[in-house]
Amino acid sequence: MTQHASLNNIEHRNLRVNMSHGAEYGDDIMSALTFPAEFRNVQTYYPIVFQKDEQGGFQPVALFGLRQGENLFLEGSHWDAHYIPLSVQREPFLIGRSSKGEQVHIDLDHPRVGTESGQALFHEHGGATEFLDHISSILGTLHAGVQQTQAYIDALLKHGLLESFVLDVQLDEDTHNRLMGYYTIHEDRLRELDGDVLGELSKAGYLEPTYMAIASLSHMRDLIERYRQRQAHG
């Protein structure tokens, strides 16, 4: 269940948010939304692939595991990477719309939210804490990035640069896993594009994230190795 509320310093003056990591806080996720401007940071650790949303549109995601509910970067309360996608960092906050425009909302039912421990949102005099200012900055960056993603996806589709893939993985002697339902950059078609089209994509800022997404796929091997190491250690 979720209970979204527009954040204010009267009703929520005593709220605190625990920013620790763990499955109990909802970090046991296979993937998370990302956006082209974030690809440079994301590709350092995670494969970037594309999936269809409920409306049939494409969206880029960072993969953390090979199966639903599996985050191979999560080791107890430790997230084993120096960068975590903003869509994960922003939990339990989101941008909501009201008669006053866009505002910071919070999910009051999220396991991170309470009054006993964690980061305070407001000072005693009512002003926002540095933590809340930081969250607002994350939300702004994330919102702008997601808003700009559709134009990038449209450019990829216009030139036929997305292709579906299936990855069959022999995780161990007894476990076979098929990763499917995802899309990657069609590298052959990218190589076939003429100079004018490449120039257009570069000018629009779309070429760099495309190559970042391609480079990130080398981390598929890392995910498999993380899984095997986890199995070996019980």
Quote the Cα angle for 63-69-73, to 5°. Answer: 50
Of the listed ranges 56-65, 163-172, 202-211, the one predicted with least confidence: 163-172
Mean pLDDT of 176-204: 94
pLDDT for position 2: 75
Give residue-wise pLDDT tens across range 50-94. Answer: 999 989 999 999 999 998 999 999 999 999 999 999 999 999 999
Query: Is residue 184 scored above 90 in pLDDT?
Result: yes
pLDDT for position 126: 84
On average, the pLDDT of the chain sits at: 92
- The candidate with the shortest Cα–Cα distance to 227, out of 74, 82, 84, is 74
Mean pLDDT of 149-170: 93
Q: How far apart are CA 150 and CA 35, in angstroms?
A: 10
Buried b (16+ CB within 10 A) or exposed e, 185-216: bbeeebeebeeeeeeebeeeebbebbebbbeb
Mean pLDDT of 119-124: 94
Query: Is residue 171 scored above 70 in pLDDT?
Result: no
Q: What percent of the chain has pLDDT over 70?
A: 95
Crossing angle between the packed helical segments 207-216 and 195-203, to the nearest 10 degrees:
90
Higher pLDDT, 95 or 99: 95
This prediction's pTM? 0.92
- Extents of the domains making up the chain: 4-232
Question: Are the CB atoms for 198 and 28 separated by under 8 Å?
Answer: no
